[in-house]
Structures are given as structure tokens and as C-alpha cells.
Structure 1
Amino acid sequence: MPSLVAVVVAHDSAGALPACLAALAAEHVPALVVDNASRDGSAVLAEAAGAAVVRNARNEGYGRANNIGVRAAERAVHVLILNPDVVLQPGAVDALLAAAEAYPDAGLYAPRIVEPDGRYFYQARSYLAPYLPNPKGRLAPPSGDACAPFLSGACLMVRRDRFLERGGFDEEIFLFYEDDDLCRRFADAGHALVHVHGAVALHGRGRSSAPERGRVFRTRWHQAWSRAYVARKYGLPDPSLGMLAVNAPKAALSALALRRVGWERYGGSAAGALAALRGRSALAREGLDP
């Protein structure tokens, strides 16, 4: 029985997948790619690289597709959830598994994620974290293993049975804040979130999917909607009205100035906030309602 299976969700990710899968193969980690209806041959490329592939007929979103992958990895003890633009460095898997053995009661484990500019990702506070409070967001990156208020869904490891017991990613969320929500539920259940400093992964931020027209608007729509959704879920103040008030005028000015980038950015945020206020779901927007 494999101790670890990597689950990689792909959507038009042919440009990033080869390096991701090659690094997993070098670490002797079997990969399961969940293809979200890619149009660029991502699924074929993944199979050629030796990965098992689950083909979704439509784009199910990040969390829902990961849930499909974790359920399909039936023989795994641990699953490593990672974006296709994440490249594990030598020894990262051994360090993560060693951390799981050293801290068996922890819930989630994440490597030191190094960004393209050489800095490593560490979020000093979380929107949803009632634990490890850091109200001013003071950034003091750890120099060794540490409990964290948040672990990025770009790359994290979890016991498969524990992930499924907690319900996996919230399937009402299409994109964004699904990792914040997962971290909150694990912490509420008494499980630590562990930053594993000796495990290193390179993150080509924003390279998971190929660029496409309207992507910025769609991304900002889901960021705004998901923030409102998780706020309501945990009894936090609803940010929708404030987001709408800030972004709608900027969207209008961008439209008048014929600034497409500004219109997509601010218009997407305003539209997502308005949809949340009106009670529209993210799944309905993506045609995923049952």
C-alpha cells in the first residue's frame, strides 16, 4: 500500500504539469491527476508521464476536484495535494512524512513554499483563524517546524482518512478560501497545522492554468463571493456590502476610461459581492448546481 499519493488538479495546465510530475516521480510518489475538462491536452500529457488520470467532463473547481482525487486514491495512507505549478525539491517528501511521524496528532502539513522571487510563503494570520492570534499580521517567518495559523492549499499533506472524516474541501466553494475553511475545520477539531521547514517546494504562482480572456473577472468574482461565503459560515461580519461599495465605483471609472484590466478586476469583485448579497451560489454561476 503506498504511504503517499499526490493529487494534482489540472485545468489547461500543460505548461506546468511536466515539471510537477517529474519532481514527483523523482521522489517516487505516484501521481493522480484530476483533469478539470482541459482543452490543451493536459490529461494526455499526464498519462504519458505515468500518472493516473481522472477526467472530469466539466470544470468542477479546485476543492471539488481535489475531493474526487482523494476519494479515488483508495489505497493511500497520506495524500499530498498540490497545484500543477508546484515543483517539489529533493527530500521534500521524506521531510513531510517524517513530520507526520513526529507530530501524529497534527491535521495538515505543508512544506516551505518558495515563490518565484526567492521569498518563501508564510501567512502570519488567517481570515478565519481564532487560534494563534496575530491581529497586526506581524510577519516573523519560522526557521524550523512550527504551528501555523494557515497552510496554503497550493501544497499540503494530510492523512486520507482524516481528510475524509472532516468532509474534505467544502464543495459549495468553486475557488478561493477553500484552504482557509479546511484549516479552520481541522483546527476546530483540535489538530495543529504544521509548517515543515525542511520540506521545500517551488511555486510558480499563477502558472497553474493558461491565460484566457475573462479570467481576471472570473477570478475576482470568486474571491469576493467565497470571502463572503466563509464569513457567513463562521459568523463573521459579511464583507459583501463593503466590497461592493469599494469596487463598483472603480469598475465604473475603469469602464469610462476604457481600461479593460481595471474593469475586469474591480467589476469582478463588485459582481461577486453583489451575487453574495443576492444569495446566488458560486456553483450556479459555473453551471454546477444539481
Structure 2
Amino acid sequence: MHQSNAAERVTIVTVAYNSSAVLADMLASVPAQTPVVIFDNASQDRPKLRELVAARENKTQLIESDRNLGFGTGCNKGAEAAETEFLLFLNPDTALFPDTLQNLVLAADRRPDISAFNPRILNDDGTSILKRRSDLVPRGAWVPRGELTQDTILPVLSGAAFFVRRADFNAVGGFDTKIFLFFEDDDLSVRLSAARGNLMYVHDAKVSHIGGASSGWSPKSEKLKNWHWGFSQIYTARKHGMRLACLGAVLKTGIRALSPATLLSSKRRLKYAARLRGMAGALRWGGARRIRT
């Protein structure tokens, strides 16, 4: 299969939130013939995003939201604008290699029984970003530690570079819009695996993790992120009937909150207090309580 044919069969979907500084590098790595949909979650740097989109002309679409709808909802709305066979949900702080899309499409064509794929996501130091386990799947399905050297079945996929057939993504309803942030990729992985087929790591398809997207530490952002971490951890476990996972998550977080390291650190106290409040919110209401940003 010619590389250009593969590039035309994929739409890149990315969710931006004040991401223009890293998004430029990601867009520069995308083949010219590959469509890109950017969903902007009420970023303050939107004028810069518009400049980046204009530079790619008609192959890039920017969907602008006047409020932050969260990662999963942003992905879903971006996917609605796609018309290609495949979708690659890609974080703004990543970049493709020249043959990434070709190798992902080749893997999908070879394995129609696989519903979704992760490429090899590489940090600057050569280590890989890989999800080996999740509380939403049995321990027997977890992948042991150690470098993967070949294509491997995975229990869940990372949302940083999530490659999926658009038909399969639509068939399971996409990302759960009740999840604002965190664990949405675990939830989607479990639903895809159950309904459409196994999940796979593709060793020859590489994506670099650029990094540098952090906006710095602040009490407000840390409270927000950790509230959603706690909420989503409990929400997804309850959704999939994992009562022991709920109990284990609460106990583990409580123990960490009371540890000497936490009691001596204001940042750690803030972190775990916010997580416990998020967990309490999920346990109390069971639905999706949203904190707007």
C-alpha cells in the first residue's frame, strides 16, 4: 500500500486547550493529504490556532467551543466532522513519524479482528508511554513489565494516540460524555474490546511525545484535575460493575492522603483532598458533575 493512500484513509482528531505552542509541531508532522479536525475547548490562544489552521488550508478544520467541554466530548465532536475510514485521536503534544499512518493502516488491514490500536509512543528519553493495566479489566489480562518488541494485545489503550475504525467508534457511541477528564480511554477501550474486538499495540508505528505542554502548577488547576481524576476513577469503576475496584481506589487514596509525605506537603494535601472530593461526588450522585473551566 502506498503511503499517500494510507494518509488519505485517516483523519487526525485533536482536542486543544491553550495548546498552540505544541500543536504547531504536531501539525507539521501530519502528511499534507491527511485531514485534521481540531476541537478547541475555549482556549485563550485561539487567534494562534486560527493561524495554524489557515497555514494548512482546506485540510484542517477548527471547531470552536465557547466553553470547555472536556476531552471525550471534544473528541466526539471532532469525530463527527470526519469522513474517513479511520480516526487517530492524537494529543497536541505529540508528533507523527513519516511512516506512522502507513504502519497503523497496514496493521488494521492485516487484523480486521482488532478494534483499535496504539502506536509506540516515545518520550524524549526513549521510554514508551504504554497502558499495561486497568482496574476495569481482569488482572490476568494485564501486560507484564518490560519493553515490548512486537505487536501485542493490550488490555486498554492510551488516549494519547488512539487509532480506531470510525465505524467501530460510532458503533459503541464514542467516548462517554459523562467523563470530563481521565479514564475515558480505559472506558472506551473496554467497550470496544467487548463489542468489536481486541486491542493491539503496533510496534512499527511510532509517535513521539514532544512534551512541553504544561502550563505550570497552580492550586486551581491542580484541584480541578485531581477532582476529575477522583470522580472519573470511581465513575468508570461503578459503570463497569467493579465494586472492589471502587473500594480499593478509595482506600488507596485515603492511605496516601494520610501518609507522612502528604501531611508534610501542601501540594500533596491539595492533590489528595481534591481526589477524595471527586470520589465522594461520584459515589454520592453517580452521574456526571461538571466543573467548568
Shorter-chain TM band: 0.7 to 0.9
C-alpha separation in 2, matches of 1:232 and 1:243: 17
- 1:158 corresponds to 2:164: yes
Contact 1:109/1:156, CA 8 A, preserved across alignment: yes
Q: Secondary structure at the match of 2:188?
A: helix
Q: How does 1:127-206 map to 2 (within 5 A)?
A: 127-130=135-138, 133-134=141-142, 138-205=144-211
Q: Which runs of 5+ in 1 are unaligned?
A: none
Q: What are the residue-to-residue correspondences of 1:51-90 with 2, within 5 Å? A: 51-73=60-82, 75-90=83-98
Q: Deviations over 1:81-127 (max 9, x none)?
A: 01000111121111001111111121101110012321112332222
Partner residue, 2:274: 268
Matched residue, 1:242: 251
TM-score (norm 1): 0.87
* Distance of aligned partners of 1:244 and 1:94 in 2 relative to their CA distance in 1, 3 Å threshold: closer
Unaligned runs of 5+ in 2: none
> Matches of 2:162 and 2:18 in 1, distance apart?
22
Change (3 A) 1:132 1:190: farther
Match of 1:35 in 2: 40
Matches within 5 A, 1:219-238: 219-236=225-242, 237=244, 238=246
2:168 and 2:192 in contact (8 A); partners too: no
Amino acid at match of 1:69: G
TM, length-normalised to structure 2:
0.86
- 5 Å-filtered alignment, 1:19-34, equals 19-25=25-31, 28-34=33-39
For residues 195 and 275 of structure 1, do their structure 2 counterparts lie closer, same or farther at Cα, with a shift above 3 Å needed? same
Distance 1:131 1:46, change over 3 A: farther
What percentage of residue pairs aligned between the two structures are identical? 33
Secondary structure, aligned partner of 1:269: helix
Higher helix residue share = 2
Which region of structure 1 is more displaced relative to structure 2, 233-242 or 160-169?
233-242
Structure 2 vs 1, CA of residues 263 and 99 (structure 1 numbering), >3 Å: closer, same or farther?
Answer: same
Q: Greater CA deviation, 271-280 or 188-197?
A: 271-280
Residue number among 88, 108, 124 corresponding to 1:100 in the alignment: 108
Give the whole-Å Cα distance in 2 for the aligned partners of 1:251 and 1:267: 15
Describe the superposition over 1:220-267 as per-residue Cα deviations: whole angstroms up to 9, x where unpaired.
11111111011111111223642563355469965xx6x442233222
- Residues 1:252 and 1:17: Cα distance change in structure 2 (over 3 Å): same
1:284 counterpart SS class = coil
CA distance in 1, matches of 2:217, 2:262: 24
Question: Given that residues 243 and 273 in structure 1 are in contact (C-alpha distance below 8 angstroms), is that contact kept between their aligned partners in structure 2?
Answer: no
Q: What is the match of residue 216 of structure 2? A: 211
Q: SS at the partner of 1:54?
A: strand
> How far, CA to CA, are the matches of 1:209 and 1:70 in structure 2?
25
Partner of 2:10: 4
1:253-264 to 2 correspondence within 5 Å?
254=263, 259-264=265-270
Q: Structure 1 residue runs of 4+, over 6 Å off?
A: none
Asked whether the 8 Å contact 1:34–1:66 carries over to 2, the reply is yes
Query: Relative to structure 1, is the Cα distance of residues 176 and 161 closer, same or farther in structure 2, using a 3 angstrom cutoff?
Result: same
Secondary structure of the 1:17 match is helix
Preserved CA contact (<8 Å) 1:10 1:38: yes
Amino acid at match of 1:35: D
